[in-house]
Amino acid sequence: MHTHTPFTNLAFCVRTFGCQMNKHDSERIAGMLEGLGALPVESIEEADIVVFMTCCVREAADTRLYGQVASLKNTPLRAGTPLSKRVVAVGGCIGQRDGERLVEELPHLDVVFGTHNLGSLPRLLEAALEEGGHHVEVLDAASSFPTELPTAREHAWAAWLPITVGCNNFCSYCIVPYVRGREKSRPLEDIVAEAEGYVAAGVKEITLLGQNVNSYGRDLYGSPRFAAVLDALDATGIERLRFATSHPKDLTDEVIGKFATLRSLMPALHLPVQSGSDAVLAAMNRRYTRGHYLELVRKLREALPGIALSTDIIVGFPGETAKDFEDTYRLVDEVGYHQVFTFIYSKREGTPAASVDDPTPRDVIQGRFDRLVDLVQQRAFEANQADLGAVVDVLVEGASKRDAGLLAGRSPKNQTVHAPLPDGVSAGELAGTVVPVRIDEAKTWYLSGTLADDGAAGHAGAADGR
């Protein structure tokens, strides 16, 4: 029950670009607006308030944002709206970076906020609703970790839990340290209290978030404490625990060991390598070598032989030679990832790499990229074959988008799994539960199988070796 606020019965919609941190911020925004009596809607057409959570890591997101905000000018208001104009807000990285410039270029934009003042959004929107005009507020740094904001979660059974914000690494292509600020860790007691709340509310899976979770605690405790976070989260009784993102230079043996010992830690790790060439890694300021990375992979597989690894790769970084690319290609071949997110380098103004010119023709870079994608697909297909015949625990997310008669969910290794729904049971009824599925088909991007009726899926199935 809400008391009447300026938001009561207004319809809002949040559009998110970019990373999980942004998705989590969007959930917090939805939580705040719902708490004030506004109603979430799916489409921009139905919304009185539209909030864009933006990302400036990739150039495409910039272009999309400007296009989408511009096109709103011509989108009619919904029938029955009490407003004479739709209220539009832009936050996140582009809000932080561009501030006032955004309202100069997009005059029908009402509110701009940054990465450090999510909690100010209701106040800024309220001012726009009541006074009209532009309301821009961007702060240089957060005074404290914004932990107290309510969150509206996309799925009742899964939660993202930020443990750090910001980044101290200054990879030469990345804008994040400039727009998200220096790394700040959240006190361990706060993290545990939030996780305990989720467990009590029936959440099955928590994903810990940070630009580099491995350095968690350095600012608060003088040395990284990420392994202690994993122990403490496991002790809350959460069923599934994951984390992102993990910088290879800071991944310790202690954290690697947790994959072998912690009940809840899922057998999957995203470990962005970016390049397999030492020269390119140095130019990227990644501060590890190809050899160090491969040694981490060896240790991870020693700790947990079936672990599923995923990574990010940038193709065409300024100065990348044919030999550098071959080093990347060989590394991807050698590791055998379950998934690789491949990107062609795109320049981000304001980063050191943006001032380096590269004469390599675009079609050469595209050719490298296409070759790499073929290899990625082939190796992902091969990696998935290991699960054929295994019974895996699937956390059901709902019906498959392609076929309403199939359930879709996630395996412990984070693979998408499809299986026919039992007669008379809807995907909605199973959503949020864990069901055993016997895998009888393994494709490049998903597994499919049938519900195993004995209900006796081992943890992650036999193929994980645990």
Of 329 and 343, the one with the shorter C-beta distance to ligand SF4 is 343
Who's near 263: CB < 8 A, 6+ residues apart? 234, 459
CB atoms near residue 202 (< 10 Å): 9
Contact region with ligand SF4 (CB under 6 A), list: 120-128, 168-176, 432-440, 441-449: 168-176
Q: Any long-range contacts for 395-404 (C-beta under 8 Å, 24+ apart)?
A: 395/157, 395/158, 395/204, 395/205, 395/240, 395/432, 395/433, 395/434, 396/427, 396/430, 396/431, 396/432, 396/433, 396/434, 396/435, 397/155, 397/431, 398/427, 398/428, 398/431, 399/426, 399/427, 399/428
Looking at the DSSP assignment, which residues form a beta bridge with residue 137? 113
Contact region with ligand SF4 (CB under 6 A), list: 142-150, 167-175, 315-323, 420-428: 167-175
Are the CB atoms for 249 and 288 separated by under 8 Å? yes
Contact region with ligand SF4 (CB under 6 A), list: 157-165, 171-179, 353-361, 435-443: 171-179
Six token digits for residue 265: 């830690």
Q: How far is the CB of 21 from ligand SF4 (least distance, A)?
A: 9
Choose, by CB under 6 A, the member of 169, 346, 360, 416 that binds ligand SF4.
169
171 binds ligand SF4 (CB under 6 A): yes
* Binding residues among 210-229 for ligand SF4 as defined by CB under 6 A: 211-212
Measure the CA–CA gap between 109 and 89, rounded to whole angstroms: 6
Of 11 and 174, the one with the shorter C-beta distance to ligand SF4 is 174
**Cα angle, residue 309 at apex, residues 325 and 22 outer, rounded to 5°:** 90
Q: How far is the CB of 249 from ligand SF4 (least distance, A)?
A: 9
Of 176 and 451, the one with the shorter C-beta distance to ligand SF4 is 176
Of 177 and 420, the one with the shorter C-beta distance to ligand SF4 is 177
Q: How many residues bind ligand SF4 (CB under 6 A)?
A: 10
Of 184 and 418, the one with the shorter C-beta distance to ligand SF4 is 184
Contact region with ligand SF4 (CB under 6 A), list: 81-89, 164-172, 231-239, 409-417: 164-172
Q: Strand 406-410 vs strand 416-420: parallel, antiparallel, or unpaired?
A: antiparallel
176 binds ligand SF4 (CB under 6 A): yes
Six token digits for residue 355: 């001032």
Choose, by CB under 6 A, the member of 161, 167, 386, 430 that binds ligand SF4.
167
Six token digits for residue 422: 């039992």
174 binds ligand SF4 (CB under 6 A): yes
Q: How far is the CB of 323 from ligand SF4 (least distance, A)?
A: 24
Of 244 and 463, the one with the shorter C-beta distance to ligand SF4 is 244
Q: How far is CA 211 from CA 1, 13, 20, 167, 370, in A?
A: 37, 26, 10, 6, 28
Of 170 and 445, the one with the shorter C-beta distance to ligand SF4 is 170
Q: How far is the CB of 313 from ligand SF4 (least distance, A)?
A: 13
Measure the CA–CA gap between 77 and 110, rounded to whole angstroms: 16
Side chain identity at 322, as an amino acid letter?
A
Six token digits for residue 188: 């361990």
Measure the CA–CA gap between 71 and 323, rounded to whole angstroms: 44
DSSP state of 328: H
Measure the CA–CA gap between 395 and 146, rounded to whole angstroms: 30
Draw the binding track, 229-268, toward ligand SF4 (x: CB under 6 A; -: no contact).
------------------x---------------------
Of 353 and 431, the one with the shorter C-beta distance to ligand SF4 is 353
3-state DSSP assignment of residue 146: coil
Contact region with ligand SF4 (CB under 6 A), list: 9-17, 43-51, 62-70, 174-182: 174-182
Contact region with ligand SF4 (CB under 6 A), list: 95-103, 170-178, 324-332, 432-440: 170-178
Of 250 and 464, the one with the shorter C-beta distance to ligand SF4 is 250
170 binds ligand SF4 (CB under 6 A): yes
Q: How far is the CB of 308 from ligand SF4 (least distance, A)?
A: 21
Q: How far is the CB of 28 from ligand SF4 (least distance, A)?
A: 20
Q: Which residues bind ligand SF4 (CB under 6 A)?
A: 167, 169-171, 174, 176-177, 211-212, 247
